[in-house]
Amino acid sequence: MKQHTVIDSPYGPLTLVAEDGVLCGLYMTDQRHRPPEETFGDRDETPFGAIVDELEAYFAGDLKDFTVELRLNGTEFQRRVWDQLRRIPYGETRSYGELADALGNSGASRAVGLANGKNPIGIIVPCHRVVGANGSLTGYGGGLDRKQRLLDFESGTALF
């Protein structure tokens, strides 16, 4: 059974979705690849206490590593990419090519990019930490402005 809630953040409203009490979605407003609202289940804040606490601590600059349980629904390859995203340290970035290398398939940069774009749990699974080979900002489902703001926040060059 799915449930959802909406919380405020420095990046605008975030929709949190849980399946059987486990976080399976975190979506920004106007996010590319955002599922239809009717798939989010009933609105209920009950399963989101720990998640909201961790997000608040993150936005306050007090949390760098999330510990909440996640349910990442996707293909095996997508889940492998998302696992690699979670290994990128706070305040650092990796290129799509570096992620492909970490997966043992240096030619998979484009596939890594596609999987990155389908990440269902933004911020917590930090797809914003992936940049182009030359360090340039490239696609981000939440918009390049949000991506830059997240990177600036994590690097300490911008605070809320």
Average of per-residue pLDDT across 6-27: 96
Each residue of 78-109: pLDDT tens digit?
A: 999 999 999 999 999 999 999 999 999 888 88
* Confidence at residue 157, expressed as pLDDT on a 0 to 100 scale: 73
Q: List the beta strands (DSSP E) in 2-101.
A: 2-7, 14-19, 22-28, 42-43, 94-95
Backbone dihedral angles phi then psi of residue 100, each to the nearest 5 degrees: -60, -45
* Confidence at residue 141, expressed as pLDDT on a 0 to 100 scale: 67
Q: Are 93 and 135 spatial neighbours (Cβ–Cβ below 8 Å)?
A: yes
% residues pLDDT > 90 (the chain): 73
Which residues are catalytic, by number?
127
**What's the mean per-residue pLDDT of the chain?**
91
Domains delineated in the chain:
2-59 (3.30.160.70), 76-155 (1.10.10.10)
- Residue type (1 letter), 101: D
* Confidence at residue 158, expressed as pLDDT on a 0 to 100 scale: 64
Q: Are 87 and 103 spatial neighbours (Cβ–Cβ below 8 Å)?
A: no
* Confidence at residue 3, expressed as pLDDT on a 0 to 100 scale: 96
Each residue of 68-77: pLDDT tens digit?
A: 999 999 999 9
Could you tell me the pTM of the whole model?
A: 0.91
* Confidence at residue 48, expressed as pLDDT on a 0 to 100 scale: 94
Instruction: Give me the residue label for tokens 């994590």.
Output: 154
Which residues, other chains included, contact 74 with Cβ-Cβ below 8 Å and sequence gap of 6+? 82, 115, 118, 120
- Answer yes or no: is pLDDT of 1 > 60: yes
SS3 for 82? Answer: helix
Q: List the beta strands (DSSP E) in 12-143.
A: 14-19, 22-28, 42-43, 94-95, 130-131
